[in-house]
Amino acid sequence: MTVRTAKRSAGLLLFRHTDRGLQVLLGHMGGPLWARKDAGAWTVPKGEYDPAEPAWEAARREFREELGVVPPDGEAVPLGEVVQRNGKIVTVWAVEADLDPETIEPGTFTMEWPPRSGRLREFPELDRVAWFNPDRARAVIITAQAAFLDRLAEHSA
């Protein structure tokens, strides 16, 4: 009998304080499956890692791979873990920093598209990133990841 272990992802949730209040940086998932979706299609920049790699190091590596920019230095606020509907365990840290969404150079992935066409196409991991206030972020983020917004709000209070 084969025991399946849950996939794990780690990421960084950037936040900033503006004259309009707290904002968080989220990425819209790339590729044709997400192109016309908004609600539930935004995520903390994150990615999968091997259990042998420390989660914090994976979070920083994945940030760089997903956004094409160096992850910011600063105090890392642990926001813990959530389990997404697909069973993936996601661990996130919040870091206060500002980032211009226009500076990202997203990493890519390859998939067969259209399905069963035999044609491989490359798509961005995240096709755009944007700053959101907590209420708007809650409306578009992957459902399980909304817990990170709550935990950040508790830290920022």
Structure tokens at 143: 């459902």
Residue whose tokens read 């994976």: 58
Measured in degrees and rounded to the nearest 5, phi and psi for residue 125 equal -60, -50
Whole-number pLDDT of residue 5: 77
Residue 148's pLDDT band (boundaries 50, 70, 90)? Answer: very high
| pTM for the predicted model, two decimal places | 0.93
Whole-number pLDDT of residue 2: 56
Average pLDDT, the chain: 94
pLDDT single digits (tens) 2-32: 556 789 999 999 999 999 999 999 999 999 9
Q: How far apart are CA 46 and CA 107, in angstroms?
A: 12
pLDDT single digits (tens) 46-88: 999 998 999 999 999 999 999 999 999 999 999 999 999 999 9
Structure tokens at 88: 């993936």
- What contacts 57, CB < 8 A, 6 or more positions away? none
Average pLDDT over residues 132-141: 97
Task: Please name which of 107, 97, 22, 100 lies closest in space to residue 63, comparing C-alpha atoms.
Answer: 107
Whole-number pLDDT of residue 101: 96
